[in-house]
A = this chain, B = another copy of it.
């Protein structure tokens, strides 16, 4: 950068990149005092949640039955604080987008954020209970699994579902943006992409997992099992009169209880796969399947 031309290029580029036109729509302007969605904070939230839900498997693991209350206490307090901040960040972030006045509603949003964080904390025992069913399902469904420890320690599905089940609760309480970031973090870590708006029953499992996609309006029953590469997607989406997709319409499949979907199968559209059905590998399904149906690829 000792060269005149280099300096010139750099300075001019800085000016150009700082201009309003160049920034339009790509710049999030921060307001002093407002928390921001922070991937670092969200990573810590996930780590804390895992340490609380599966003590001894995640987090600083030297817990024993006599000291566990201290550890969970400290972790829950920290989690509550970080959640309050990030939920508030989500509530305000959206507002900025919508050009509303956030300032006037800051106090109420702030109270709301703390309320939601408290609610989520209160649901942790229940979330642990349903995750326990997912651990059981993973163990029962995989002959290669040696014990629960192995499932909890290293099966990607447990990581993905922990993020999803927390994020889904936040969706139900109206928190924007943050739940999606949480499931995308699991997507990056495991290759499993679950939209936090999807509804998923208990005893759910996914084997291997890479490439699985579960769309926003999916409804999945209990005891369902997916394999890697399965897509539960939309077939098409109605456009509005400007040619843009209409948001919010149910467009992803319903899987009833006890369904199994083998690897790389693609199930598209608001169809229903009936209770106990089996969808074979590499299959393309766009129509309802009655209960107890099996559909395999013809060779």
Q: Which chain A residues have a beta carbon within 8 Å of chain B's beta carbons?
A: 1-3, 5-7, 9-18, 20, 22-32, 36-38, 52-57, 61-74, 76-77, 80-81, 93-94, 96-98, 114, 118, 121-122, 124-125, 128-129, 131-132, 135, 140-150, 152-156, 176-177, 180-181, 184, 187-191, 193, 195, 197, 208, 210-211, 213, 215-216, 227-229, 231, 233-234, 237, 244-249, 251, 262-264, 266, 268, 280-284, 286, 297, 299
**How close is A269's CB to chain B, nearest CB, in angstroms?**
11
Q: Is the CB of B13 within 8 A of A263?
A: no
**How close is A38's CB to chain B, nearest CB, in angstroms?**
8
Copy count, this protein chain: 6
Q: Is the CB of B125 within 8 A of A80?
A: no
In the complex with contacts A10-B80, A14-B76, A268-B281, A187-B213 CB distance below 8 A: no
In the complex with contacts A1-B32, A62-B81, A210-B191, A26-B177 CB distance below 8 A: no
In the bound complex, how far is the Cα of B22 from the Cα of A12, in angstroms? 26
**How close is A271's CB to chain B, nearest CB, in angstroms?**
13
Those 7 A-B pairs whose CB atoms lie nearest each other, nearest first: A70-B73, A28-B56, A143-B245, A154-B184, A18-B69, A144-B216, A16-B125
Q: Is the CB of B234 within 8 A of A227?
A: no
Q: Is the CB of A13 within 8 A of B176?
A: no
Task: Knowing that A30-B64, A96-B149 touch, tell me 8 more A-B residue pairs with CB under 8 angstroms.
Answer: A9-B118, A18-B69, A20-B65, A23-B55, A25-B148, A26-B135, A154-B181, A263-B266
Q: Is the CB of B188 within 8 A of A211?
A: no
Interface centre among A144, A152, A268 (most CB of B within 10 A): A144
Interface centre among A64, A145, A193 (most CB of B within 10 A): A64
**How close is A263's CB to chain B, nearest CB, in angstroms?**
5
In the bound complex, how far is the Cα of B80 from the Cα of A7, in angstroms? 11
Q: Is the CB of A29 within 8 A of B56?
A: yes
Q: Is the CB of A245 within 8 A of B64?
A: no
Q: Is the CB of B28 within 8 A of A61?
A: yes
Minimum CB distance partner of A182 in chain B: B154
In the bound complex, how far is the Cα of B153 from the Cα of A188, in angstroms? 13
In the complex with contacts A135-B25, A213-B208, A144-B197 CB distance below 8 A: yes
In the bound complex, how far is the Cα of B10 from the Cα of A191, in angstroms? 33
In the complex with contacts A125-B13, A197-B144, A2-B210 CB distance below 8 A: no
Residues of B contacting A215 with CB < 8 Å?
A: 144
**How close is A157's CB to chain B, nearest CB, in angstroms?**
11
15 sampled A-B residue pairs with Cβ under 8 A: A1-B32, A12-B122, A23-B55, A26-B53, A29-B64, A62-B81, A70-B70, A70-B73, A71-B74, A97-B148, A155-B184, A191-B191, A262-B266, A264-B266, A282-B284
